[in-house]
Structure 1
Amino acid sequence: MNRKIVIVFGGVSFEHEISIVSAIAMKEVLQAELHYVFLDGARNFYYIPNERLNAKLFSSGKYKKCDKLTLGKEGFIKKSVFSTSVIPCDVILNLIHSGDGEDGTLSAMFDFYSLPYIGPRKEACAISINKFLTKGYASSLNIKTMNYQYYNKGEIVRVKEYPVIVKPVRLGSSIGVSIVKEEADLLYALDVAYEYDNAIIIEPFVSNIEEYNVAGCKIEGEFVLSLVEEPQKSEFLDFEKKYLDFSRTSTVQEANISSELKNALKDAFKKIYNTLFDGSMIRCDFFVINNVVYLNEINPIPGSMSNYLYEDFSSTLVSLSYDLPKIQNITISYDYVNKIQSAKGK
């Protein structure tokens, strides 16, 4: 019997369009009964029939003619004048990149209603969406990251040596990111980054650096890891190139590197995933400098779920859907209040 998966996509996010591309890609790679729920810029949920799922539906605004939904304890609810129905669902797949999907907004809603979902939990969102906190988390695990300077908007920025790369603290997919090769270009790069966030990180830029990606999850206590990918070489993989890259659905070739380096990358992934990312399928992007592994970024909801890195993406996701973190059941007894009342009555 096919698993019923509700894919939530769109959201209030600078990566809204990437989420749409990811949702469309799932039709090709997930062997399950899929139901699509679109979250628009006004934070309204819409039920999108599979046959109508295409990019133009959203860019034209015609999605607003689809049924509007509400979210409750039963899941996604469709109401009409004469009836109320619940969208069939065994598990929700959070497919909103950045914004609502990765900042903990949706995670908190799903947790509040005790709904089963694949995606980062609130604590994982807080760590992974913020590059400053990510570096601190990696450091606690003895995983190296690039040296950096952290600035809030309005602070005086001083760079001693170029080239550098300027990044908004809370954004991915290279949006708002600039390579600065000389001081004359710094002010413009800062203006661009501050358009997206009120805090930035500045790191040294190393050309021709070795880059590798590893994706995976944990099922019944055992790690299920993807191939190790060596992404397309370019001085800088900008937003447009990444946007097109996210639409891939065919499996990539494994990186041609030593088994020792593969193991080092996978070990670093396992340390990062730990228990913090239980219930999610993440991707970690690494640098390697002089055979030393550095964490570049944690992608808690990667583009198209990085399906192209897995030998059997669909089976992995479906298996994970049966082994999600359990929400602690807290019994409300009012024993303490009753004791106080009893004491007062004596």
Structure 2
Amino acid sequence: MTFAILFGGSSYEHEISIVSAITLKKVLKKSGLQFIFVDAGREFWLIEPEKMKSKTFSSGEYKKGRKLTLEHGGFFTVGGGLLGGKKKKVEFDVLLNVIHGRDGEDGKIAGIMEFFGIPFIGPRLEASVCSYSKLDTKLLAEALGIATLEYRLLVKGGERRVDLDFPLIVKPVHLGSSIGVSVVRGSEEFDYALDVAFEFDDQVLVEPFVEGIVEYNLAGCRSSVWELSLVEEPQKEEFLDFDKKYMDFSRDEKVHEAVIDAGLKEELEGAFKKIYDPLFLGSLIRCDFFVIDGKVHLNEINPVPGSMAHYLFDDYESMLERLAAHLPRERSIPIDYRYIDRIQKAKGKA
């Protein structure tokens, strides 16, 4: 099977996406791979596998490659030289959406892929909308009966006070990778933390910061069966800031499974399945959970997780192939113009 790795995008997490794509080149050893880069101007470029190095993008060298157009059924090169300007389709079986943040997780890529009839692994439009916003994620969890931390929503230019006790954690609503996130231990730090968060987003969530909280990460999908990863207990200092997550996304080794009892594992897996099915069918997601006083809380949904969460699986590549073989299909709607024909006949214009 050949995968097209789509990465980059117009996002604060653009560089994280590049790191994830480079990591997947190391991880997917049996599959055929095509690499399609989306630059900051949202133009598509075909990147040769040997050019999949960070310097290719930071130096602008990628512009020496082939620019792509997107048409129904796929991506096409328009080359000079030996190609003589003739279009050539980029051949692959399934596209893998590895664009983190805006473009990849907000629904734009999902909509474009479905519109142009390109099979892809990634969150569909509704799933993207629900998980891109931390606020909507909380509302989804509430509707599913899954607990989340108490929160307050602040809007840029509006009220800056909350009725929660310190310490607090301040988060931009629409960003990942801990960008713009601050832990606030007193009122004198609160305004500054909000200034930082509002640099990246017009909406901010404020939650209690729970000292020593235990977090568990679980990834998975549903092909013909449930494909769930091991449960990881990330080792943290206070919280994973941008730099730690950036380095974390480049890892290509497996992690150790958390030491938890069967009951807690069953609760975590049950919550994951509630969240995933049917909203996230066709995607590989990671959910991050807290356990507080023995109760499972959803922290966030990662619809396009860093490095696609490969490090949580024993046989990641085979799992991706099974998922690719069981993607949801958009319903076909027959258009026969029967209604217009009836109107024309009624007017005597048939």
Shorter-normalised TM-score: what interval?
A: over 0.9
Residue identity opposite 1:79 in structure 2: V
- Whether the aligned pair in 1 keeps the contact of 2:167 and 2:183 (CA below 8 Å) is yes
Are 2:265 and 1:279 aligned?
no
Paired with 2:212 and 2:240, the residues of 1 have a C-alpha distance of: 12
How many angstroms does 1:318 deviate by?
Answer: 1.1
TM-score (norm 2): 0.97
Give runs of aligned pairs for residues 30-109 of structure 1, distance below 5 A.
30=28, 31-81=30-80, 82=84, 83-109=86-112
Aligned mate of 1:236, from 236, 239, 258: 239
1:253 paired residue number: 256
Unaligned runs of 5+ in 1: none
The reply to whether residue 4 of structure 1 matches residue 18 of structure 2 is no
* Cα distance in 2, alignment partners of residues 247 and 206 from structure 1: 28
1:210 to 214, 220, 223: 214
Pairwise CA distance, 1:127:
0.3
Question: Structure 1 residue 172 and structure 2 residue 176: aligned?
Answer: yes
Per the TM alignment, residue 22 of structure 1 is displaced from its structure 2 partner at its CA by 0.4
**Alpha-carbon distance in structure 1 between the residues aligned to 2:18 and 2:202:** 27
Mapped to 2, the partners of 1:62 and 1:191 lie a distance apart of: 36
Q: In the TM superposition, what is the alpha-carbon distance from 1:54 to its structure 2 partner? A: 0.1
Deviation string, structure 1 residues 176-195 (Cα, Å, up to 9, x no partner) = 00000000001110011001
Residue 132 in structure 1 maps to residue 160 in structure 2: no
Alpha carbons 2:73, 2:117 under 8 Å: kept: no
CA displacement, residues 261-318 of structure 1 (integer Å, 9 cap, x when unaligned): 1111111100010110000000000000011000000000000001000111111111
Aligned match of 2:124: 121
Work out the CA distance in 2 between the residues paired with 1:331 and 1:319: 30
Displaced runs of 4+ in structure 1, greater than 3 A? none
C-alpha separation in 2, matches of 1:236 and 1:339: 64
> Is residue 318 from structure 1 mapped to residue 321 from structure 2 by the alignment?
yes
Alpha-carbon deviation of 1:114? 1.1
Q: Is the 8 A contact 1:96 1:301 kept in 2?
A: yes
Rounded to whole Å, the distance in 2 between the matches of 1:166 and 1:27 is: 35
Task: Give the Cα–Cα distance (whole angstroms) in 1 for the partners of residues 45 and 147 of structure 2.
Answer: 43
Question: Alpha-carbon deviation of 1:27?
Answer: 1.3
Match of 2:20 among 19, 22, 32: 22
Q: TM-score, normalised by structure 1?
A: 0.98
- Please show how residues 150-165 of structure 1 align to structure 2 within 5 Å: 150-160=153-163, 161-165=165-169
Shift of 1:159: 3.0
Amino acid corresponding to residue 96 of structure 1 in structure 2: I
The answer to whether the 8 A contact 1:6-1:35 is kept is yes
Task: Give the Å deviation of 1:328.
Answer: 1.0
The two structures, once aligned, show a CA RMSD in angstroms of 0.9
Asked if the contact 2:45/2:62 (under 8 Å) is kept, the reply is: yes
Question: What do residues 169-219 of structure 1 show as CA deviations (whole Å, max 9, x unaligned)?
Answer: 111110000000000001110011001110010000001100000000001
Shift of 1:74: 2.8
Task: Give the residue type in structure 2 aligned to 1:131.
Answer: K
Find the residue that maps to 1:295 and give its secondary structure: strand
> Does the CA contact (< 8 Å) of 1:114 and 1:327 recur in 2?
no
Q: 2:339 aligns with which of 333, 336, 339?
A: 336
- Residue equivalent to 1:288: 291
| 1:80 CA drift (Å) | 2.1
| CA displacement at 1:233 relative to structure 2 | 2.1
The CA distance in 2 between the partners of 1:165 and 1:117, in whole Å, is: 35
Any conservation in 1 of the 2:16–2:246 contact (CA below 8 Å)? Answer: yes
2:149 corresponds to which residue?
146
- Preserved CA contact (<8 Å) 2:218 2:286: yes
Q: Separation in 1 of the partners of 2:347 and 2:295?
A: 67
- Separation of aligned partners in 1, 2:123 and 2:99: 11
Q: Does 1:187 align with 2:185?
A: no
> Is the contact between residue 168 and residue 200 of structure 1 (CA under 8 Å) also seen in structure 2?
yes
Amino acid at match of 1:154: G
Alignment partners' CA distance in 1, 2:231 and 2:200: 31
- SS for the counterpart of 1:277 is coil
**Partner AA of 1:158 in structure 2:** R
**Does the Cα contact within 8 Å between 2:221 and 2:228 map onto a contact in 1?**
yes
